[in-house]
Structure 1
Amino acid sequence: MGTLTISISDEVEKKLRSFVKEKYGSSKGAMSKIIEEALKIYFSMLEKKKKVFRAYRGEELVAEARDLEELARILKEKNIDPRSVKIVSSEPIKPVARMGWK
C-alpha cells in the first residue's frame, strides 16, 4: 500500500471532507476509501479505447469483462450474485430508445 501527499484547493478539500463525513462518518481510513473509489472510477473512464465492465465487491475487483453477458458468465462461474456487486462501465451506457407500436 502506497502513501501519497497531495495538494488540493481549499474549496475541493471542504467538499471532499463534507462528502466523506456524510458517507462514512469519522471512521478511520474513510478519506482513503473515497479517494481510491474516485480514482478507480476515473481510471475506468479514461480507458475509452476498450469498453470494459468491472464488478466490485466493496473495494475488491472480483470480475472484469468486455460485455455484460461475459461479466454475468464470469460472476456465475465464481458463484457471485450479480446483485451483491457494484458494476462500473469504462464508458457511459446509452439508454435504449424504442419506437413503434406496443
Structure 2
Amino acid sequence: MALRGTAEQLLHCATRHHWPVAVTMAAVSRRARYLLIAGAVAEGLADHRRSLPPLTHVAIRRLDDLAYGWGVWQGAVRHRTAAPLKPRLALRVVSRWTAGMRP
C-alpha cells in the first residue's frame, strides 16, 4: 500500500505541481514522453468517480491540473521563491491520539 501511495503521489505531482518540468523532459526524451502520457492517463483513471465517461474525466482532470500548476509556478516566480514547489516530507505519522504526547 505504501508503494502504491508513493506512486500515486509522484504521478499527481508530475501532472499537477511540476508539469512544466515533466513536459520539458517529455519534449527531449521519448521515454519521458511515454511515461508522462501513461502516468497522466493512469492517474486520471484511478481517480475516476464514474460520474463522467472515463476519458472525459481524465481530460477534465488534466486541464484542472494544468491550471493549478500554472498558478503555483506563476506565484513562485512572482514572489521569487521555490517554497511552494518543494515537497514536504512527513518523517513520522502523527495521529489525533498521539498529537499531544512526546515521543
Q: Please, what TM-score do these two structures have when normalized by structure 2?
A: 0.32
Q: Please, what TM-score do these two structures have when normalized by structure 1?
A: 0.33
**Radius of gyration: which is bigger?**
1
Larger proportion of helix? 2
Larger proportion of strand? 1
